[in-house]
């Protein structure tokens, strides 16, 4: 089975860095990227795939990363997708809130290969075993490579 990851970040350099690091950590993985929570949710709806893992910046313009996490958890077909929050240092209560809403990890930006590797090892493998990165029944997946890939 093949891993598919979604990276959401409004900062192009951070988006490209995380996508590049994931490609090194999981060779052959499909990396989808989005510059906003709204674009990411639209992409997931359009393609109807459950990524092996979603990495989302906490500080996004418009819908925040934490709001996107809530939206992911409210979509029945995505509710078990592992979501890791990415951020510059934040208050402890932000981290606690993220975990309460279902984040599986909270990683520092810029993303480091060893942190991504641990997150993928700890969370994406379980999602892949639960048929992650496969189409939702009745909707064929049309996976596109990101520009950052």
Cα–Cα distances (Å) from 133 to 31, 38, 122, 126, 142, in that order, read 11, 20, 17, 12, 11
Residues 6 or more apart from 125 whose CB is under 8 A from it?
none
Q: What is the pLDDT of residue 111?
A: 84
Sheet bearing 30-34, strands edge to edge: 30-34, 4-8, 53-57, 83-87, 105-108
pLDDT tier, 1 (very low <50, low <70, confident <90, very high otherwise): low
Domain extent, residue 122, equals 10-129
Would residue 39 count as lying in a domain?
A: yes
Residue 18 is classified by DSSP as H
107 has which bridge partners?
86
Structural domains in the chain (count): 1
CATH of the domain at 83: 3.40.50.2300
β 4-8/30-34 pair status: parallel
What pLDDT is recorded for position 54?
96
For residue 145, is it within any domain?
A: no
Residue 69 has pLDDT above 90, yes or no: yes
* Single pTM value for the model: 0.81
Flag whether 141 is in a domain.
Answer: no
CA distance 26 to 41: 23
Q: Do the domain assignments include residue 1?
A: no
Chain center to CA of 4 = 9
pLDDT digits 0-9 by tens, 76-134: 988 889 999 998 876 677 788 888 888 998 888 888 889 999 999 888 766 545 544 44
The confidence score (pLDDT) of residue 137 equals 39
């Amino acid at each position: 089975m093949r891993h598919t990851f979604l990276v959401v970040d409004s900062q192009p350099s951070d988006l490209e860095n995380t996508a590049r690091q994931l490609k090194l950590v999981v060779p052959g993985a499909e990396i989808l990227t989005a510059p906003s929570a709204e674009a990411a949710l639209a992409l997931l709806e359009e393609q109807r795939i459950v990524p092996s893992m979603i990495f989302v910046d906490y500080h996004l313009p418009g819908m925040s990363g934490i709001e996107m996490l809530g939206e992911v958890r409210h979509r029945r077909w995505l509710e078990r997708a592992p979501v890791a929050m990415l951020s510059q240092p934040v208050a402890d209560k932000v981290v606690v809130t993220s975990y309460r809403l279902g984040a599986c990890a909270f990683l520092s930006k810029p993303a480091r290969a060893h942190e991504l590797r641990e997150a993928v090892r700890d969370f994406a493998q379980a999602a892949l075993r639960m048929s992650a990165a496969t189409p939702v029944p009745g909707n064929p997946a049309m996976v596109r490579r990101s520009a950052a890939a």
